[in-house]
Structure 1
Amino acid sequence: MNDSISGKQACKLSSNQIITGKWKKTQYEIIRELGCGATGSVYLARSARGLSALKISDDSMAITSEVNVLRQISRVQGPSLGPHFYETDDFASPRGILAFYTMEYIKGTPFLAFVRGRGPEWAGILTVQLLKDLHFLHKQGWIFGDLKPENLLAGEAPYHIRWIDPGGITKEGRSIKEYTEFFDRGYWGLGDRKAEASYDLFSVSMLLINTAYPGRFEKTQEKGTERLLEKTRDSERLVPFLPVIRKGLEGRYSNALEMREELLLLLQGASFRNVAAGRGATQKRMSPVSRQKRRQAAQVYAPGAKKVSRWSGVLETMVAASFLLILYILYLVGQTV
């Protein structure tokens, strides 16, 4: 514990501090801290290149491992995966030599904050994108490992999910090197920590559950699956995702693409049902007498105006919003196939 604390202190940088690479002599001005994890701290920095994310650590082996992952993925990645790698170097600090590397700074909104601000349907839309990217990553022989909202951003419009921390990415077949308990199947007693596709897909199910329980919750004496499915059924926003969440928790998907296709079908079905439900609910609420009264009220408050009720406007808005959501989902499919 003391080693961990001293390591974090060693990596503590101040705003406006200038650090210079020992070998390449590139100068970076520290702007602010972006995050701090088990293997080091990440800062927003400015150099002659422009803005970048700079990760610094007293664990040179961890930095070397992450750089190797970033270099390999940067060569083959699609447009929506993780940050591009820039360079690596050492920094001679007052507390000794620290290793660091710089990568693309991705502007965006944290996953949970984005879903909270835009609406629960976006949890499904962003997860569809994430599953496509995971499938690509898995095909290259890598497992994300530490998959959690803190490592995901919704990039600026057109909105697309991006991952921002390569620290947990592990070669397929090895032991997961970093994990967060809530998203770890080992913690819930539902599998081991072997780096394989099903490990990431379990975390995807937990990611969806986390959108309804941002404070998270701990395991109990109940069997892991029962506890998690009970929490899923207790949340109105999660019930539509229940079939996909269950199969992800139980490891019944052979790959990320299969999970993505089923989630996409659920999203499309839910959108059409919302349109129909909105139309039916509006018709039930408006009896003939109510419609007549609304027409009379419209004539009183807006003589000569077009006779359109407030309820029809609400219905039109609901239909338009649902239709746009469907179109956006179809657009995303076209972009990621």
Structure 2
Amino acid sequence: MMPQDIRTSLVCNLVVGEEIRGKWNHSKYRIRRRLGYGATGAVYLADSDRGVVALKIGHDQMSITSEVNVLKRFSKVQGKVLGPSLIDVDDWVARNSTYPFYAMEYLKGETLFDFMKTKSSEWAGILLVQLLTDLHTLHQAGWAFGDLKPDNLLVTGPPYRIRWIDVGGTTVMDRSIKEYTEFYDRGYWGKGSRKAEPSYDLFSAGMVMVNLAYPSRFSKNGDPNKQMQAKITGSPMLKPYASILEKAWNGKYRYAEEMRNELVLLLNARDKARSPKKQSQQASQQPASRQAQKKKKSSFITETFLVFTFVFVVYLFYMLGQTM
């Protein structure tokens, strides 16, 4: 058996055009490019007999089996597909070793950062509502997402919809989070344990939004609480959501639905606050519009009268010519 670091290196560095053939199902996949990699393996874009797929190749059978089981469960959660659809599960034999893999639906879309480049900051709140809706469904099924971060999310559409593209960190509730990224991990910021529970994911969801305002991210300093408060209030994108983000930061939400409902109320209130301005603008435009319509109508009547007068005069001259 190869040392683990060598196996990991092979899995994460497949070349374009390399062919992966399943040992048991004999399906073939040709590598296009690598989409990403993490602790459990790498994900590639690949061509297959069933079209373009996302191919996850790992170096640990138990980790890949766990992810496959999660994807199978996702497809049965209240009849709602939370993650990509599972297509194939098999092993790949190469370099005198066996690598477990699975093929899943390739979700075509944009990263959160690319999507937000062309959209107003309000879209951050809308996407967070969608994310919290799916997290509530996942939590009700007994799972925490764990490694929640922009790298594991994608925006598809239109209609625009946030989707999950990697479930490697998904963990059964009350167990230790098996995969995480420091910036989104409450343990790193000293805000709680790494126990799989709704509040862990909700902390990460809030940090995803913070990351949209600060794409380069930042490290913690001596007082993370003051640091985060300054970051939130100092950002035009985050400031309207300050109360919600601070509650997520401090673990005040027990369920994703609580956080989602507060966010929906906030978004509705902001929309209503803008409505009177729109109505006053429309009202101020109405008198000018009516005056323009009256002027246009008056002009039409005048032109019509002149045309009839001209025709009558021509007819009169014609009749006089006939009598002479």
The TM-score range, normalised by the shorter chain, is: 0.7 to 0.9
Are 2:86 and 2:104, in contact at CA under 8 Å, matched by a contact in 1? yes
Where do residues 213-292 of structure 1 align in structure 2 (5 Å cutoff)? 213-222=214-223, 224-276=224-276
Helix, strand or coil for the counterpart of 2:116?
helix
With over 3 angstroms needed to count, the CA separation of the structure-2 counterparts of 1:31 and 1:77, relative to structure 1, is: farther
Q: Which has the larger radius of gyration?
A: 2
**Cα 1:191/1:109, change in 2 over 3 Å:** same
CA distance in 2, matches of 1:28, 1:72: 25
Provide the C-alpha distance between the structure 1 equivalents of 2:258 and 2:107, rounded to a whole number of angstroms. 28
Matched, 1:41 2:53: no
Bigger Cα displacement from structure 2, 4-13 vs 241-250 = 4-13
Confirm or deny: 8 A CA contact 2:142 2:173 kept in the other structure: yes
Q: Distance in 1 between matches of 2:276 and 2:50?
A: 52
SS of 2:35 mapped into structure 1: strand
Residue correspondence of structure 1 range 1-337 to structure 2 within 5 A: 3-4=4-5, 7-76=8-77, 78-79=79-80, 81-94=82-95, 96-222=97-223, 224-276=224-276
Change (3 A) 1:78 1:220: farther
Deviations 1:91-121 (A, max 9, x none): 1112521111111111111112212221211
Letter in 2 for 1:228: M
Deviations 1:111-159 (A, max 9, x none): 1221222121111101101100000000000000000011001111111
What runs of 5+ residues in structure 1 fail to find an aligned partner?
A: 287-294, 296-303, 306-337
CA apart distance, 1:80: 5.4
Distance 1:189 1:277, change over 3 A: farther
8 Å contact from structure 2 (residues 83, 163) kept in 1: yes
Q: Supply the distance in 2 between the matched residues of 1:116 and 1:80 (Cα, whole angstroms).
A: 28
Task: Show structure 2 runs of 5+ residues with no match.
Answer: 289-294, 297-324
Equivalent pair of 1:11/1:58 in contact (CA under 8 Å)? no
User: 1:195–1:216: structure 2 CA closer, same or farther, 3 Å change rule?
Assistant: same
Question: What SS is found at the alignment partner of 2:76?
Answer: helix
**SS of equivalent residue, structure 1 residue 75:** coil
Amino acid paired to 1:255: Y
| Structure 1 residue 19 displacement after superposition | 1.3
For residues 257-285 of structure 1, what are the alpha-carbon distances to aligned partners after superposition, in whole Å with 9 as ceiling and x for unaligned? 110011111112222334556788x89xx
Aligned CA distance change for structure 1 residues 216 and 77 (closer, same or farther; 3 Å): farther
* Bigger mean CA offset, 129-138 vs 45-54: 45-54
TM-score (norm 2): 0.82
Q: Percent identity?
A: 50
Distance 1:18 1:63, change over 3 A: same
TM-score by length of 1: 0.79
- Output the amino acid matched with 1:248: A
Contact 1:89 1:99 in 2 (8 A): yes
Farther-moved stretch of structure 1 (227-236 vs 77-86) = 77-86
Distance 2:271 2:203 in 1: 25
Separation in 2, partners of 1:121, 1:251: 24
The 1:240–1:12 alpha-carbon spacing in structure 2 relative to 1, beyond 3 Å, is: same
| TM-superposed deviation, 1:41 | 0.8
In 2, the alpha carbon distance for the partners of 1:111 and 1:88 equals: 29
Query: How far apart in 2 are the matches of 1:121 and 1:247?
Result: 19
Checking the alignment, whether the CA contact within 8 Å between 1:56 and 1:98 is kept in structure 2 is: yes
* CA shift for structure 1 position 4: 3.9
Report the Cα offset of residue 6 of structure 1: 5.0
C-alpha distance in structure 1 between counterparts of 2:159 and 2:175, whole Å: 36
Question: Contact 1:225 / 1:250 at 8 angstroms: preserved in 2?
Answer: no
Give the alignment's Cα RMSD to 1 decimal: 2.4
* Contact 1:11 1:98 (8 Å CA) reproduced: no
What is the rounded CA distance, in whole Å, between the counterparts of 1:21 and 1:14 in structure 2? Answer: 17
The change in CA–CA distance for 1:274 and 1:218 in structure 2 (over 3 A counts) is farther
> 2:12–2:37: 8 Å Cα contact kept in structure 1?
no
